[in-house]
Amino acid sequence: MARYEVPDGLYYTREHEWAKVLEDGTVLMGITDYAQEKLHDVVNVELPEVGARVRQMEAFASVDSVKATSEVYAPVSGEVIEVNEELLARPELLNQDPYGRGWIARIRPASSEELHGELEALMTADEYARYIEELEGKRV
């Protein structure tokens, strides 16, 4: 499935978010290449509040394409400590660079134990690549 970029070392949700554990133990997150490709033409992003506490797989942001609004789910629980405000002026970054400048939020987990438990529930790059391949196979 070379069509979609799925970087190694990240964790993935079934709702097409990615999570990257940074050296300081916080988690950077965004939506995957597959998600941005399916959305197409991202025109608006609603970001969470800095300081908000979220639970894993809670809808905490949303992304608008021309056609529809899609929820964005928190890949891990914790406190939102930073959001990518550049997206407010340039939502197209989600299309252009979903794993880089198109990041959405940074989350500080309550503890590394909780974080590692939650990461178990997410997919590795290999698993996610197979998952989207399956989804594609089901397409008409």
Partner 1 sequence: MAERTQLWLFHAKRARITEFAGYQMPLWYEGIISEHMAVREAVGVFDVSHMGRLLVEGPGAEGLLDITTTNDVIGLEPGRSQYSLMCNQDGGIVDDVVVLRLAEERFLLVVNAANRAKDLAWLRGHAKGLGGQVSIADLTGQVAMIAVQGPRALDVLTAVSKAERPLRSLRWHEFTEGQVAGVSALIARMGYTGEDGFELYIWGATPGEPERALRAWEAILEAGRELGIKPCGLGARDTLRLEAGYCLYGPDINEQTTPVEARLDFAVKIEKGQFIGREAIRRQMLKGPRRLRACLKLLERGVPRQGYKVLDEAGREVGHITSGTFSPLLRRGIAMAYLPPELARPGLEVLVDLRGHRRARAEVVEPPFYDTSKYGRRRRAS
90 belongs to the binding site for partner 1 (CB under 8 A) = no
Give me the least distance between CB of 140 and partner 1, in Å please. Answer: 7
Residue among 97 and 114 whose Cβ is closer to partner 1: 97
Indicate which single residue of 43, 82, 101, 130 sits in contact with partner 1 (rule: CB under 8 A): 43
Of 20, 17, 1, the closest CA to residue 9 belongs to 20
Residues 49-88 that bind partner 1 (CB under 8 A): 62, 64-69, 88
40 belongs to the binding site for partner 1 (CB under 8 A) = yes
Residue among 90 and 101 whose Cβ is closer to partner 1: 90
Structure tokens at 96: 């252009």
DSSP 24: T
Q: Which range of residues in 13-21, 36-44, 98-106, 110-118 is near partner 1 by CB under 8 A? A: 36-44
Q: Which residues bind partner 1 (CB under 8 A)?
A: 40-41, 43-44, 46, 62, 64-69, 88, 140
